[in-house]
Chain A
Amino acid sequence: MLGALICLVIIFFINAVASYTSSDQYCMSCHVHPWAEQNWKLSPHHNNRTGVTVHCVECHLPPKGEGYLFAKAKHGVIDAYGYLFKDSGKINWEAKKLLENAKGFTYENACIKCHQNLFPVTLSVNGSNAHLAYLNTKEEPKPNCINCHLIVGHFDRNAKHEHDTNFGVDATASKELFGEATKVESFKNFTEKIPGTSVSFDMVAIPEGTFNMGSPDGEPLRKPDEGPVHRVKLSKFWMGKVEVSWNEYLAFFQTTGSQGRTEGQAIKNKNVDAITGPTPPWGAPDQGWGKGLRPAITMSWKSANTYCQWLSKVTGKKYRLPTEAEWEYACRGNTTTPYFFGGDPKKYTSKGIFKKLFGRDTTTIGSYIVYAENSSSKTKEPVSVKENPFGLKNMAGNVAEFCSDYYSPDAYQSNSESINPKGPNSGQEHVIRGGSFKSDAKDVRSAARDFTKTKAWLVTDPQMPKSGWWYSDCIDIGFRVVCEADSAK
């Protein structure tokens, strides 16, 4: 009898502890990022007509009986460790707000526990289509509630989840417009002017040469698709000094995109030579970080390719995306080391438990590359980094860059000793290079390869059909242009 009573008391005590440690006050007592509380109060989960308040644990833990206690223990341990041993000022809170990270501590079951009716009578046609797509998607990549509803728990005034038909419309102030493109007499650096706009950008002359493409077996943290190392000979070409900026991209968008056009709408344009550009984006492609000289992001490979066609047309030169070989040659700038500056990937990387505990070396790499350790999870303007040996900036990091080649993991197998290689003849996805502001140091090595993931990058896009011009789920992709040497006139 006494035993039973003691059991009851203990159960009561555990319950009291569990519910005390699940209160908002308890959460806030350790979670030292005040914006989270402020933005929660501004969000519809706190500020709404019904007067119902949704508390921290109702979203950040699964419902009771669906792994609640396990998740509570797991997050509790991680949070306690962070609270005791980490400097909250140094934690990258911006990164935690990104979708892929938010999925780690926001539980879809918790959303669905309350939001059982996915089809309230007031739901719009777009909303209905999105929810139908959500129900009908049986295979990965599946959309998660927060793919679309990322800001419902913590308000973000920059976030957009709508068809932004006014995107970029007023981006260029009325300045003097260039009448014609820059005339290039000889093969040296020049500044291109886009006719009809006030936008200009620098092109760097890259001399012809032969280099070792790929990474040797002994290079730390390499992946198998980077080998074998093979000799590649390239003709000279110009390459954009920096990644294509919003200023440049919006010049294209404004002249070729038709405002208000939806994705599937046919183009009735009598001028068959006219270049048809992007549809208006879904959401805010610049992520609210600003445009200007920041690299343009989230455009599809097709968009980037169309941009080059347009740029060629308005300037009379031959612009295109770089081949993968041109990209790596330009990035290396005649170096053969993992990076175009000194250093060991093993020292720079943040992967592995020891790195997490004892920190890593960021000194040299941080001055050349915008990557996970120094980016605050955003793109940066090119002024923030130093040039590579060829005088190019942000080849590695900042945003990953499209190449014209299709991606194949064994593309190098057949490439022994080649001249101006263009990659496989056919494929599904294209090569992207250089890593981005999200990347670990190991993925911004000169030889590191990656590729587009079209399906996964369009999960959130609720349009039918999905956009061919903008990726809804990839915020760290951009590109730079090359100009062919024989187009100098």
Chain B
Amino acid sequence: MEKESKNFNRRKFLGTGVLAGVGLASAGLILSSCKKELNNEALGLPPILRGAPKGRKLRAGLVGVGNRGTGAAINFISAGPDLEIIALADVFQDKIDSCRERFAGFQLPIPAENCFVGFDAYKKLMAIPEIDVVILATPPQFRPEHFLEAVVNKKHCFIEKPVCVDPVGARLMIATAKKAEALGLCVVTGTQRRHQEDYIETYKRVANGAIGKLTSAKAFWNQEHVWFRTREEGWSDMEYMIRNWNNFCWLCGDHILDTHVHNIDVINWFMGKYPEKAIGYGGRARRVTGDQYDFFSIDFDYGNGVSSHSMCRQIDSCANSTGEIVNGTEGYTNCINTIWNLDGSVKWQFEYPKDENGNPMNQVKIPPYVQEHMHLVYAIRTGKYVNEAERTALSTLTAIMGRTAAYTGQIITWDAIMKSDMDLGPTKLEFGPVDMIFETPIPGTPVKV
């Protein structure tokens, strides 16, 4: 055994292990703990739970009741016992209606007086004293304001990613995260890969040196085109944009934030830091509505010669895939379940649970979308504090740095994007005409003839 008196947690663990008698499972753990290995707690890893523990009833309000919002609310109530959704807020009545209908279908009716419509609906919802938890699932443009209001009203939060669309929003998220921490309010964000057992087990090995020192990485989210709405008669500028939010940068942040932020977050996680600068490009080839790009290719520079190539695309009939690769001096990994030696032989593989027929399933037992809510409830009920808002804001800011590099054609540094006053929203949020210009950004200058 190595002497390591500072590692209090491990000593405690060993003590209890001996007291309990050496079972087969713990024998394995003790063996591995004899090496100088960092455990889950030291690595800041979340618990993998079979369900949220019992405890005081937690009532939640859902802000942003579209597809993902309703999905997140269902994930929340499936996380454990005594979890309820008691209030809804959205800017559209029809969205509220269909969400209420779905909950009524589960015999979990949401009272009409707790359903609010409009740009200030979230404030009314958060003013309800019985609400312990809010789920924030609107387009990310609104997230920082909503998060602040939630913390001011002393609510625990589940926050969908991305958490903002611009640096002004990112700083508000970070500051609010710190306020939440000071108040002891738990915050879990929808970066579900960080709650996925296979990712966690892979990370643990990489963090303990399984592939040596990290030398480079690759992150990719290449897929078919995503949903869009064409404008209907009677819709104002504002209504159209919010109904088609996934295609406007000021609402969505572009798809490098909306989806690719998952991969970027994984790379930041494995690297253990944030990139120093970004250079890259992108463009708009086949997108139908809005002002966004449909492809990006960014080089994130983590310093000391370590880079991550980030690419994302939303174009039909191309080579598609989603994932991450991290390379090290002694091997490489796909971050999710496999570690290879440098010669391509498999060094380690995550063992997925088996189905009724004894065949391995290729996914973890509890969907990560539910697992993250279990973690939130676990944290609230056991007092094992969690707050993921800052790190997810920083990963979102990483994506913003990449997006800005592509839009402008310039090298964008972490310092510059952290201090940028870029603020994409309109000055006033109300239904009606919107005085904004929606040009797709073109980097550089025209050739002078």
Q: Measuring CB to CB, which residues of chain A are less than 8 angstroms from any residue of chain B? A: 117-121, 123, 125, 128-129, 131-133, 136, 262-264, 464-465
Question: Chain B 167-187, CB within 8 Å of chain A: the 1/0 string?
Answer: 000011011101101110000
Using Cβ atoms and an 8 Å threshold, which residues of chain A touch B179? 119-121, 123
Partner of A125, one of B152, B172, B183, B420: B172
User: Is A264's CB under 8 angstroms from B421's CB?
Assistant: yes
Using Cβ atoms and an 8 Å threshold, which residues of chain B touch A123? 175, 179
User: Is A464's CB under 8 angstroms from B178's CB?
Assistant: no
**Once the chains are docked, how many angstroms separate the CA of A465 from the CA of B171?**
13
Q: A121-B151, A121-B152 are in contact. Are A131 and B175 (CB under 8 A)?
A: yes
User: Is B182's CB under 8 angstroms from A119's CB?
Assistant: yes
Could you say which of A119, A129, A136, A465 has the most chain B C-beta atoms within 10 Å of its C-beta?
Answer: A119
Q: Measuring CB to CB, which residues of chain B are less than 8 angstroms from any residue of chain A? A: 151-152, 171-172, 174-176, 178-179, 181-183, 418-421
Q: Which residue of A lies closest to B418 (CB)?
A: A136
**Once the chains are docked, how many angstroms separate the CA of A132 from the CA of B177?**
12
- Output the least CB separation between B413 and chain A (Å): 13
Using Cβ atoms and an 8 Å threshold, which residues of chain B touch A465? 419-421
Q: Given A123-B175, A128-B175, 5 more contacts at CB 8 Å? A: A121-B179, A121-B183, A123-B179, A132-B171, A464-B421
Dominant SS among interface residues on chain A: loop
**Once the chains are docked, how many angstroms separate the CA of A123 from the CA of B176?**
9
**Once the chains are docked, how many angstroms separate the CA of A133 from the CA of B418?**
9
User: Is A129's CB under 8 angstroms from B171's CB?
Assistant: yes
User: Is A132's CB under 8 angstroms from B175's CB?
Assistant: yes
- Output the least CB separation between B80 and chain A (Å): 28
- Output the least CB separation between B142 and chain A (Å): 16
- Output the least CB separation between A466 and chain B (Å): 8
User: Is A120's CB under 8 angstroms from B418's CB?
Assistant: no
Using Cβ atoms and an 8 Å threshold, which residues of chain A touch B183? 121
Using Cβ atoms and an 8 Å threshold, which residues of chain B touch A131? 175
Using Cβ atoms and an 8 Å threshold, which residues of chain A touch B181? 119
User: Is B182's CB under 8 angstroms from A117's CB?
Assistant: yes
- Output the least CB separation between B244 and chain A (Å): 27
Q: Which residue of A lies closest to B174 (CB)?
A: A132
Using Cβ atoms and an 8 Å threshold, which residues of chain B touch A125? 172, 175
25 contacts between A and B (CB under 8 A): A117-B182, A119-B175, A119-B178, A119-B179, A119-B181, A119-B182, A120-B179, A120-B182, A121-B179, A121-B182, A123-B175, A123-B179, A125-B172, A125-B175, A128-B171, A128-B175, A129-B175, A132-B175, A136-B418, A262-B421, A464-B171, A464-B419, A464-B420, A465-B420, A465-B421
**Once the chains are docked, how many angstroms separate the CA of A131 from the CA of B175?**
8
- Output the least CB separation between A434 and chain B (Å): 33
- Output the least CB separation between A284 and chain B (Å): 23
Using Cβ atoms and an 8 Å threshold, which residues of chain B touch A121? 151-152, 179, 182-183
- Output the least CB separation between A202 and chain B (Å): 41
**Once the chains are docked, how many angstroms separate the CA of A128 from the CA of B169?**
12
Using Cβ atoms and an 8 Å threshold, which residues of chain B touch A264? 421
Q: Which residue of B lies closest to A116 (CB)?
A: B182
Using Cβ atoms and an 8 Å threshold, which residues of chain B touch A464? 171, 419-421
**Once the chains are docked, how many angstroms separate the CA of A131 from the CA of B419?**
13
Could you say which of A118, A120, A125 has the most chain B C-beta atoms within 10 Å of its C-beta?
Answer: A125
- Output the least CB separation between A143 and chain B (Å): 14
Using Cβ atoms and an 8 Å threshold, which residues of chain A touch B421? 262-264, 464-465
**Once the chains are docked, how many angstroms separate the CA of A161 from the CA of B212?**
50
User: Is A118's CB under 8 angstroms from B419's CB?
Assistant: no
**Once the chains are docked, how many angstroms separate the CA of A264 from the CA of B183?**
33
Could you say which of A128, A131, A133, A262 has the most chain B C-beta atoms within 10 Å of its C-beta?
Answer: A128
**Once the chains are docked, how many angstroms separate the CA of A128 from the CA of B175?**
6
- Output the least CB separation between B150 and chain A (Å): 11
Using Cβ atoms and an 8 Å threshold, which residues of chain B touch A132? 171, 174-175
Q: Which residue of B lies closest to A124 (CB)?
A: B175
Using Cβ atoms and an 8 Å threshold, which residues of chain B touch A133? 419
Using Cβ atoms and an 8 Å threshold, which residues of chain A touch B172? 125, 128
**Once the chains are docked, how many angstroms separate the CA of A117 from the CA of B178?**
9
Using Cβ atoms and an 8 Å threshold, which residues of chain A touch B420? 464-465
Could you say which of B151, B175, B176, B179 has the most chain A C-beta atoms within 10 Å of its C-beta?
Answer: B175
- Output the least CB separation between A58 and chain B (Å): 22
Using Cβ atoms and an 8 Å threshold, which residues of chain B touch A263? 421
Q: Which residue of A lies closest to B178 (CB)?
A: A119
Could you say which of A117, A121, A131 has the most chain B C-beta atoms within 10 Å of its C-beta?
Answer: A121
- Output the least CB separation between B187 and chain A (Å): 13
Using Cβ atoms and an 8 Å threshold, which residues of chain B touch A118? 178
**Once the chains are docked, how many angstroms separate the CA of A133 from the CA of B421?**
13
**Once the chains are docked, how many angstroms separate the CA of A119 from the CA of B148?**
12
**Once the chains are docked, how many angstroms separate the CA of A464 from the CA of B419?**
6
**Once the chains are docked, how many angstroms separate the CA of A136 from the CA of B418?**
10
Q: Which residue of A lies closest to B144 (CB)?
A: A125
Q: Which residue of A lies closest to B185 (CB)?
A: A121
Q: Which residue of B lies closest to A264 (CB)?
A: B421
Using Cβ atoms and an 8 Å threshold, which residues of chain A touch B175? 119, 123, 125, 128-129, 131-132
**Once the chains are docked, how many angstroms separate the CA of A125 from the CA of B174?**
11
- Output the least CB separation between B212 and chain A (Å): 28
Using Cβ atoms and an 8 Å threshold, which residues of chain B touch A120? 179, 182
Using Cβ atoms and an 8 Å threshold, which residues of chain B touch A128? 171-172, 175-176
Using Cβ atoms and an 8 Å threshold, which residues of chain A touch B182? 117, 119-121
- Output the least CB separation between B277 and chain A (Å): 16
**Once the chains are docked, how many angstroms separate the CA of A123 from the CA of B181?**
14
Using Cβ atoms and an 8 Å threshold, which residues of chain B touch A136? 418
- Output the least CB separation between A301 and chain B (Å): 21
- Output the least CB separation between A264 and chain B (Å): 4
Please give me the 3 A-B residue pairs with the lowest Cβ-Cβ distance, nearest first.
A128-B175, A119-B178, A264-B421
- Output the least CB separation between B439 and chain A (Å): 15
**Once the chains are docked, how many angstroms separate the CA of A28 from the CA of B418?**
46
Using Cβ atoms and an 8 Å threshold, which residues of chain B touch A262? 421
Using Cβ atoms and an 8 Å threshold, which residues of chain A touch B418? 136
Q: Which residue of B lies closest to A136 (CB)?
A: B418
- Output the least CB separation between A241 and chain B (Å): 41
- Output the least CB separation between A69 and chain B (Å): 29
**Once the chains are docked, how many angstroms separate the CA of A340 from the CA of B150?**
67
- Output the least CB separation between B147 and chain A (Å): 12
**Once the chains are docked, how many angstroms separate the CA of A136 from the CA of B274?**
13
Q: Which residue of B lies closest to A127 (CB)?
A: B175
- Output the least CB separation between A124 and chain B (Å): 10
**Once the chains are docked, how many angstroms separate the CA of A464 from the CA of B151?**
24
Using Cβ atoms and an 8 Å threshold, which residues of chain A touch B171? 128-129, 132, 464
Using Cβ atoms and an 8 Å threshold, which residues of chain A touch B174? 132
**Once the chains are docked, how many angstroms separate the CA of A14 from the CA of B420?**
54
Q: Which residue of B lies closest to A122 (CB)?
A: B152
Q: Which residue of A lies closest to B414 (CB)?
A: A136
**Once the chains are docked, how many angstroms separate the CA of A120 from the CA of B421?**
23
- Output the least CB separation between A33 and chain B (Å): 37
- Output the least CB separation between A121 and chain B (Å): 5
Using Cβ atoms and an 8 Å threshold, which residues of chain B touch A129? 171, 175
**Once the chains are docked, how many angstroms separate the CA of A298 from the CA of B183?**
40
- Output the least CB separation between A454 and chain B (Å): 15
- Output the least CB separation between B186 and chain A (Å): 15
- Output the least CB separation between B2 and chain A (Å): 32
**Once the chains are docked, how many angstroms separate the CA of A124 from the CA of B181?**
17
**Once the chains are docked, how many angstroms separate the CA of A140 from the CA of B419?**
17
- Output the least CB separation between B103 and chain A (Å): 31
- Output the least CB separation between B146 and chain A (Å): 15
**Once the chains are docked, how many angstroms separate the CA of A15 from the CA of B116?**
63
**Once the chains are docked, how many angstroms separate the CA of A129 from the CA of B171?**
7
**Once the chains are docked, how many angstroms separate the CA of A129 from the CA of B419?**
9
**Once the chains are docked, how many angstroms separate the CA of A132 from the CA of B419?**
10
**Once the chains are docked, how many angstroms separate the CA of A263 from the CA of B419?**
12
Q: Which residue of B lies closest to A121 (CB)?
A: B179
- Output the least CB separation between B101 and chain A (Å): 36
- Output the least CB separation between B335 and chain A (Å): 28
**Once the chains are docked, how many angstroms separate the CA of A156 from the CA of B181?**
34
Using Cβ atoms and an 8 Å threshold, which residues of chain A touch B151? 121
- Output the least CB separation between A435 and chain B (Å): 33
- Output the least CB separation between B362 and chain A (Å): 42
